[in-house]
Structure 1
Amino acid sequence: MEGIWANCWLLFLILGGIYAIFVLVVNHINDPLRSYPGPFLWKYSRLPYTWYLFRNTLPWKIHQLHEQYGPIVRLAPNELSYISFEAWNDIYGRGEGRSQLRKDHGFGGNSLVFELDDNEHARMRRDVSHAFSSASLRAQEPIITKHVNRLVSLMKSHTDQAINMTDMFNSVTFDIAGDVTFGDSFGCLDDATLHPWITWIIDRAQSAALIGAIRKFGFFQFLFIPFIPKHLRHGDTKHAALTKEKLDQRLAREVSRPDFVTYLSRNLGKPQGISHLELVATSSNFIVAGAETTATLLTGLLYYLLTNNGLQFCYGNLASLFRSYIRPAEAITMDMDVLTKYPFKDLDCCINEALRLFPPLPGNLRRIVPPEGKLICGKWVPGGTLVAVDVFSANTSSHNFFLPNHFIPDRWLPSDEKQECFNNDKLDAVQTFSFGPRNCIGRNLAIMEIKLILVRLLWQFDIELEEESKDWIDRVKACGFFIKPKLMVRYYGDPDESIFKGPEIQPRNVRWFD
């Protein structure tokens, strides 16, 4: 009797296997995306994609797939990944009739960033845009400068000691974001301690990435929930509650100061104006996007400056340049006149190269191809397909760049000033702040904040990397945002004292890449 049951089970497994193969063959024959390259398992299941996301290694895996399969890779049964500027334009730009591809519904919401409806997004963007005008940014300069001065004072108190710049950059950017959004900083720079809210914000970003991925499994998404750490799920709730509390406190004060709430509340509740629910959600986005992303870029940039050809080259060259042209420190302002009046193109080149190698948002922003289909990069894509440019892959692809994994600011110089080997670099493939009508509205603020903080630190201190952080980039993970380990540095001196204890910095007349 046992032999009969064993044979039945064997027959069942054989028939099941034959059926599975039959289904795969039929699906492959009828698959509208079968001509797009990609790993076999990725074509028929979202499990490989989700596996690497939960392991916090997805950006590097997608980069590897693009290197193997080319500029277009199939990441899932209905998803394609691109790395070219043409794809940026086709996916995120306006099409015929000024239409746009619809955002992936996995991240819908009532905020400027996550609003799915194009008309609603345009309405909110018009209402929010004046908060990011040149006049508004100039009015916010005293707020931002105050926190940069506090950062410098805090660092002066730790001179000749090893210090974690990952936390330092998070402290100053979150204090700035809190002050320019709610009129109240997080107090991180008071004692160099990160506010618990910052941890919840980072947890929220990771949780959103994971939840967005498992929603693609429809009914079976409940199977993945237990694998999302509880602290990540709770961070979302705590962040939302504190955002509303902070915003309501700010609105209750009814004071006029150059922060975002002052600008955004002018049309609060009015026809075509922003609603209270939208204001809460958008304020939440400002804290996340305006602080964590800026801190990420600053941390990555400082690491590359301190490791590229040694201290004497990148970091030393910039520091010498700033100290030669700027005196005293108070001359460093957000007006940026002083940074355009003198030959500071090296600074822009360094920032652009850091944005390329260490983009604050290393993943992708999915769009949905309309039912009638669309031509993307010269090839027809059927309706309903998810499409996106993968930022990290586009930025570090050997299809787009010579020596793609090297920090070489010179590649951003004009053609007649850089070596010929970089002339074929596809610089327009780097769209770190996204592209089209939904690009980052806070780009100018972020760049000015980065310049102000970076110039002040390079002017003020000689900084060198601690031995324990020499492999810092190899220990970075990613889930939504980059998950950054400690960046330990030691710094010396103060130009105001005219004596430097650290390594001597000499200006050099040769370019970055020799």
Structure 2
Amino acid sequence: MIRSTIEILKNASPTAISIAGAVVFLALNLVIRAYLNPLSGYPGPWISKYTGLYEKYQFLSGNKPRYVHRLHKKYGPIVRVSPTELAISDASAAKEIHRVGGRFLKSEFYDNIGHRGGKTLFNTTDPHRHAIRRKLLSAGMTRNNLAQLEPDVMKRVRLAIQRMAEEKKNRGVIDVFKWWTFMASDVIAELSFGESFKTLEQGQETQFVKALQNQSFFMAIRTTFPTLLPYAQLIPLPIFKEVQAGGQRIFMHARQAIGRYKTMLESGVSTRKTLFTNILKGGPDGLTELEIIQEACGYIVAGSDTTAITLTYLVWSVCKNPSIRDKLVEEVKALPEDFSEEHVRDLPYLNQVINEALRIHSAVPSALPRKVPPEGAKLAGYQIPGGTTVSTQAYTLHRDPDLFPIAESFNPARWENPTKDMKHGFMPFGGGSRICIGMHLAWMELLLGATLFFRTFPNAKVSIREGMCDEDMVMNMYLLVSPVARRCLIEA
């Protein structure tokens, strides 16, 4: 047999030998991945042993959280989703992975989220650099500092409700997804740059807003095909060019707006306070202008989509449940006309409604990949090898039936007396030292937006006009979420 094989090789062309060699190499590689990989003993679908392509396909389809959730239902709290990654749905393990001071560092997945590889607070993987940057940026996001910015937020919330009332009069329905998106975009722009995008005034989607709305999908492209992006202009597919163009449009706007604001500060012109005022006034130990621009880009993307999505699904869910709506209206209608965040911060039912909206329709439902420290770790009863990528996703944690019975039901009352385990499994803003720095700002917008909406439209209900149906609200899930139809029509 060996002699005949040698004869075949002698008579074969170089091309045939190369192809045969490639096939053998590929076969050996697949065998090694499947059976000699330290993760070979973990449960999961057969394809995950050999390749992560199917998982990437689900990611690019906006369906990965649902796909991984189904795997957890079938295989349990730890599932192998690719040759090198495990998904974990155990709340105690999630708490350990994301705890303050933990050694589970962000994976290389985050390297390609920023525009042209730019590093921001969100995608910095080095814990020391992250701590320094968070300390610099967190001052702008404290409750005390945000209290000074609240009038700007409230002005935009009131304008959004005014524009909704105008649309109701002219169209008969309100597209709350559109108006919440415009509002959140204008708020974060005004607080970051001292100037709004003025989308609420214009009342229509601009190229810039479209670029913002597409960033979640574009981030999926960037993280899936990082090696191709430098050659985007050479690839004859529009999507790759749109990824580059969208990111560039946001970057250029941030650079110009920050530049204008910095010039006003330096000239002594009276300027309104922003999230970056103190940093721009800072000395050599602060951030460079490029780093500030990169952070501003991150603020714009994260601060517009997440808040708008949560308010959209909150309104939709409440309007589908008249008893919940009526109870919420009863609570907020007793407020004074000139109410502030201080008036609504501790309203019990309003906070329960917001928590439930964040649970079942988390704006960031997707995996948050981390690297297991070199010495390995025991999670959910398994000893995980060092260097393994492990990920938790809010979509599954928030649907754990042991923590949240009848998990698919929108039930604010479950938050009346939350258990310790419920709190551990509730991660709408991430967790640990990497918890979302904009959480207090988001909560302010949610409190003010939900309150003013249901005070203004106490009889709001989900519309069936213009073909609106529940299928329109199925979540498209990349890194962030949006309704598949990109609309939510409400009658009021």
TM-score (norm 2): 0.86
Partner of 1:479: 478
Change (3 A) 1:119 1:413: same
The partner residue of 2:277 within 250, 262, 287 is 262
Partner of 1:57: 63
Q: How far does the alpha carbon of each residue in 1:14-43 deviate from its partner, in whole angstroms, 9 at most, with x for none?
A: 999898666544443322112221111022
The partner residue of 2:143 within 109, 134, 137 is 134
CA distance in 2, matches of 1:299, 1:152: 13
Partner of 2:262: 251
- Structure 1 residue 413, shift from structure 2 partner: 1.4
CA distance in 2, matches of 1:453, 1:219: 40
CA distance in 1, matches of 2:148, 2:462: 36
Tell me whether 13-22 or 44-53 shows the greater mean CA deviation.
13-22
Verify: 1:152 aligned to 2:161, yes or no. Answer: yes
- Structure 1 residue 360, shift from structure 2 partner: 0.8
The letter of the residue matching 1:443 is: M
Contact (CA 8 Å) 2:331, 2:349: kept in 1 or not?
no
The letter of the residue matching 1:280 is: I
Verify: 1:283 aligned to 2:335, yes or no. Answer: no
CA distance in 2, matches of 1:285, 1:101: 23
- Equivalent positions of 1:72-91 (< 5 A) are 72-91=78-97
- Structure 1 residue 213, shift from structure 2 partner: 2.3
CA distance in 1, matches of 2:472, 2:423: 23
Please state whether the residue corresponding to 2:373 is helix, strand or coil.
Answer: coil
CA distance in 2, matches of 1:63, 1:475: 16
Contact (CA 8 Å) 1:186, 1:195: kept in 2 or not?
no
Partner of 1:296: 309
Please state whether the residue corresponding to 2:37 is helix, strand or coil.
Answer: coil
- Equivalent positions of 1:74-223 (< 5 A) are 74-94=80-100, 98-108=101-111, 109-160=118-169, 161-215=172-226
Please state whether the residue corresponding to 1:75 is helix, strand or coil.
Answer: strand
CA distance in 1, matches of 2:236, 2:390: 25
**Percentage of matched positions with identical amino acids:** 24
- Structure 1 residue 225, shift from structure 2 partner: 9.1
CA distance in 2, matches of 1:261, 1:68: 47
Unaligned runs of at least 5 residues, structure 1 = 416-422, 492-514
Partner of 2:325: 315
The letter of the residue matching 2:85 is: E
Please state whether the residue corresponding to 2:368 is helix, strand or coil.
Answer: coil
Contact (CA 8 Å) 1:298, 1:450: kept in 2 or not?
yes
| Pairwise CA RMSD | 3.0
CA distance in 1, matches of 2:167, 2:229: 52
Partner of 1:234: 245
Please state whether the residue corresponding to 1:87 is helix, strand or coil.
Answer: helix
- Structure 1 residue 305, shift from structure 2 partner: 0.6
Contact (CA 8 Å) 1:36, 1:73: kept in 2 or not?
yes
- Structure 1 residue 440, shift from structure 2 partner: 0.7
Q: How far does the alpha carbon of each residue in 1:469-505 deviate from its partner, in whole angstroms, 9 at most, with x for none?
A: 33146533122221322101121xxxxxxxxxxxxxx
Change (3 A) 1:19 1:306: same
CA distance in 1, matches of 2:472, 2:421: 23
- Structure 1 residue 451, shift from structure 2 partner: 0.6
Contact (CA 8 Å) 2:60, 2:220: kept in 1 or not?
no
CA distance in 2, matches of 1:38, 1:218: 31
Please state whether the residue corresponding to 1:155 is helix, strand or coil.
Answer: helix
CA distance in 1, matches of 2:74, 2:234: 32
Please state whether the residue corresponding to 2:151 is helix, strand or coil.
Answer: helix
Partner of 1:502: none
- Structure 1 residue 230, shift from structure 2 partner: 3.5
The partner residue of 1:31 within 34, 37, 46 is 37
Change (3 A) 1:99 1:59: closer
CA distance in 1, matches of 2:51, 2:232: 14
- Structure 1 residue 142, shift from structure 2 partner: 1.0
- Structure 1 residue 50, shift from structure 2 partner: 1.1
The letter of the residue matching 2:74 is: Q
Q: How far does the alpha carbon of each residue in 1:116-169 deviate from its partner, in whole angstroms, 9 at most, with x for none?
A: 211111111111111012221110011111112212222232344212111010
Please state whether the residue corresponding to 2:491 is helix, strand or coil.
Answer: strand
The letter of the residue matching 1:49 is: E
Unaligned runs of at least 5 residues, structure 2 = 1-7, 112-117
Change (3 A) 1:20 1:178: closer
Tell me whether 169-178 or 362-371 shows the greater mean CA deviation.
362-371
CA distance in 2, matches of 1:125, 1:119: 10
The letter of the residue matching 1:410 is: A
Change (3 A) 1:101 1:191: same
Partner of 2:351: 348
Contact (CA 8 Å) 1:106, 1:215: kept in 2 or not?
no
Report how many residues are paired.
462
Please state whether the residue corresponding to 2:341 is helix, strand or coil.
Answer: coil
CA distance in 2, matches of 1:222, 1:43: 34
CA distance in 1, matches of 2:278, 2:299: 14
The partner residue of 1:436 within 432, 437, 450 is 432
CA distance in 1, matches of 2:316, 2:380: 35
Q: How far does the alpha carbon of each residue in 1:227-260 deviate from its partner, in whole angstroms, 9 at most, with x for none?
A: 8454234211211121111111111121442211
The letter of the residue matching 2:48 is: W
Partner of 1:512: none
Partner of 1:391: 394
- Structure 1 residue 400, shift from structure 2 partner: 4.0
CA distance in 1, matches of 2:262, 2:24: 65
Change (3 A) 1:67 1:222: farther
Partner of 2:461: 464
CA distance in 2, matches of 1:93, 1:202: 31
CA distance in 1, matches of 2:209, 2:301: 9
- Structure 1 residue 198, shift from structure 2 partner: 1.8
- Structure 1 residue 435, shift from structure 2 partner: 0.8
Contact (CA 8 Å) 1:164, 1:488: kept in 2 or not?
yes
The letter of the residue matching 2:316 is: Y
Contact (CA 8 Å) 1:66, 1:397: kept in 2 or not?
no
Tell me whether 195-204 or 21-30 shows the greater mean CA deviation.
21-30
Q: How far does the alpha carbon of each residue in 1:42-87 deviate from its partner, in whole angstroms, 9 at most, with x for none?
A: 2220110111122221121111111111111111111011122212
The letter of the residue matching 1:149 is: R
